[in-house]
Amino acid sequence: MRFRTLVALTGALALSLTGCAGSDPAARSSSTVTYWLWDANQLPAYEACAKDFERQNRGLDVKFTQIGWEDYWTKLTASFISGTEPDVFTNHIQKFGQFADLEVLEPLDDLGIKDTDYQPGLAANWAAQDGHQYGAPKDWDTVSLFYNKKMLDAADLSADDLDALNWNPKDGGTFEKAIAHLTVDRNGKRGDEPGFDKHQVKTYGLATNGAGDGDGQTQWSPFTGSAGWSYTDKKRWGEEYRYGDKTFQSVIEWYFGLAKKGYMAPFTDWNGSLNQANAQFAAGHAATAFDGAWMLSTYAGFKGIDFGTVRNPTGPTGKRATMMNGLADSVTKGARNKTGAKKWVTYLASDACQKTVGRYGIVFPATPSGTDTAVAAYKKKGIDTSAFTTPVDDRRHYRTFPFPITNYAADVYALMHPAMQDVFGNGAPASRLDDTNDQINLLLDQ
């Protein structure tokens, strides 16, 4: 089954690794630790960490390879096949299940990683079914609602109004009312006014990030989460998915229905030139957008746009909700410099490096002190991060949940990606997901 999954992951992948550090013989010396990451914005921070690490570990050099997200996983998978994998790489919880199943990760049990050293749950997410730890916590993020201050003022709404919204899958609650009011057609009619033309919208109340595949992180997950729904039957390493659940399907029908009413940008926008929520926001095409904490600096860089963020709306359960994702650094089982790799990962997960990263104000590092350092750095830039940090501090009123962690993650994506696009893009009923859910669970039963 592992061979079959690996083939499914790669498909028609060409195994050329031009430009990757793994193919460079010089990068494989005993004094070098090769390290792959995808975020160019974070590269300077980790280069600063590397300088300190190399001072403390004479004779060890860290060789970086930064590959954009779109190519990162393809090249990483290819490197595992061809035996040119890096010593260490930035890992994503969404991919963890498939890599654990393929047995390409080195256990990190001897590094003494403790959950109490990091924000709650971050370390525990990287413990596999076999009991081994395969990731050292790196950073974390949550999702909140970004808004255009000028458009909010024009609609006679305040940030406090937006922060106090609630929703339900029957009539959308005050959230849908606000999104409708923020929507303006080409004749100047708002979405809640008589004569509004949903076919000629100038500014949508809410941007779209597409169909959301099987996790809906920056799409529908704040709603399914606050409706009390969970992806699988277990918090971690679930054995059965729940996309056939009626609560989930009712939320999906309502959420994509916002686009049918003209309040949310349609699937064609996401599938066209404005194929990210932040691009729609920057173009003045949408007044609000759900997005992740990792995008704060991007929104702050939009010229001529004054933005703010508020907490996600309260759902039928009486709680707000957000996915809390956490990245980690992993050592490959085929690492040429395994000893150096583990030293580097230990340093990456330390307060020393995490505070260094925090000072750049790009992400929230995994340790509490690293997070505090990042919050202070964002504040110096004039960026309020409270909408993103509140879910971690207020578990009474906020529900946080991780990406679904199961085996066959790539196969789940392969099934859910077209199924969710069919529901959003083609208007297929959410009940069609019953069959997709059955196929996924049959796969997990093997």
Token pair for residue 418? 């077209």
Whether residue 402 is contained in a domain is answered as no
Q: Identify whether residues 177 and 69 lie together within a single domain.
A: no
Whether residue 395 is contained in a domain is answered as no
CB 212 within 8 A of CB 221: yes
Q: Identify whether residues 372 and 420 lie together within a single domain.
A: no
Q: Identify whether residues 310 and 343 lie together within a single domain.
A: no
Q: Identify whether residues 129 and 192 lie together within a single domain.
A: no
Whether residue 392 is contained in a domain is answered as no
Q: Identify whether residues 53 and 121 lie together within a single domain.
A: yes
Q: Identify whether residues 37 and 96 lie together within a single domain.
A: yes
Mean pLDDT of the chain: 92
Q: Identify whether residues 203 and 305 lie together within a single domain.
A: yes
Our measurement of the distance from residue 22's CA atom to the centroid of its chain's CA atoms, rounded to an integer in Å, reads 26
Q: Which CATH number do you get for residue 166?
A: 3.40.190.10
Q: What is the DSSP letter of 26?
A: G
Report helix angle 69-82 to 2-10, nearest 10: 140
- Counting Cα atoms < 13 Å in the Cβ hemisphere of 363 gives 25
- Counting Cα atoms < 13 Å in the Cβ hemisphere of 263 gives 18
Neighbours of 445 (CB within 10 A): 8
Boundary residue ending a domain (366, 383, 400): 383
Token pair for residue 123? 């370390």
pLDDT, residue 29, reads 52
Count of the separate structural domains present in the chain? 2
Question: Helix (H, G, I), strand (E, B), or coil: what is residue 18?
Answer: coil
How many angstroms separate the CA atoms of 435 and 418, rounded? 13
Contacts of 203 (CB under 8 A, 6+ apart): 151, 182, 183, 184, 284, 285, 286, 287
Its domain, for residue 103, covers: 2-140+327-383
Question: To 5 degrees, how large is the angle CA 151–CA 290–CA 314?
Answer: 95
CB 140 within 8 A of CB 389: no
Q: Identify whether residues 169 and 244 lie together within a single domain.
A: yes
Q: Identify whether residues 156 and 303 lie together within a single domain.
A: yes
Whether residue 311 is contained in a domain is answered as yes
Query: Can you list the residues of the chain whose pLDDT is less than 70?
Result: 1-29
Q: Identify whether residues 286 and 364 lie together within a single domain.
A: no
Whether residue 159 is contained in a domain is answered as yes
The two beta strands, 32-37 and 61-66, are parallel
Whether residue 388 is contained in a domain is answered as no
Let me know if 103 is exposed, middle or buried by CB neighbors in 10 A (0-12, 13-18, 19+): exposed
Whether residue 28 is contained in a domain is answered as yes
Assessment of whether the complete model's pTM goes beyond 0.85: yes
Report helix angle 338-348 to 43-56, nearest 10: 120
Q: Which of 381, 402, 383 is nearest to 391 (CA)?
A: 402
Alpha-carbon dihedral angle through residues 353, 355, 110, 140, given to the nearest 10 degrees: -110
How many angstroms separate the CA atoms of 77 and 410, rounded? 12
Q: Identify whether residues 157 and 259 lie together within a single domain.
A: yes
Q: Identify whether residues 203 and 120 lie together within a single domain.
A: no
Boundary residue ending a domain (342, 368, 383): 383
Q: Beta-strand (E) ranges in 362-443?
A: 364-365, 398-401
Whether residue 401 is contained in a domain is answered as no
Contacts of 46 (CB under 8 A, 6+ apart): 35, 37, 64, 348, 353, 357
Supply the DSSP string of 28-85, one letter for each residue.
GSTTEEEEEE--GGGHHHHHHHHHHHHHHSTT-EEEEEE--HHHHHHHHHHHHHHT--
Supply the DSSP string of 166-215, one letter for each residue.
B--TTT-HHHHHHHHHH-EETTS-BTTSTT--TTSEEEEEE------TTT
Helix (H) / strand (E) element for 390: namely helix 386-393
List the strands of the sheet with 201-206, edge to edge.
Answer: 184-185, 201-206, 286-292, 143-148, 307-310
The alpha helices in 211-273, defined as continuous H runs, are: 221-226, 246-260, 267-270
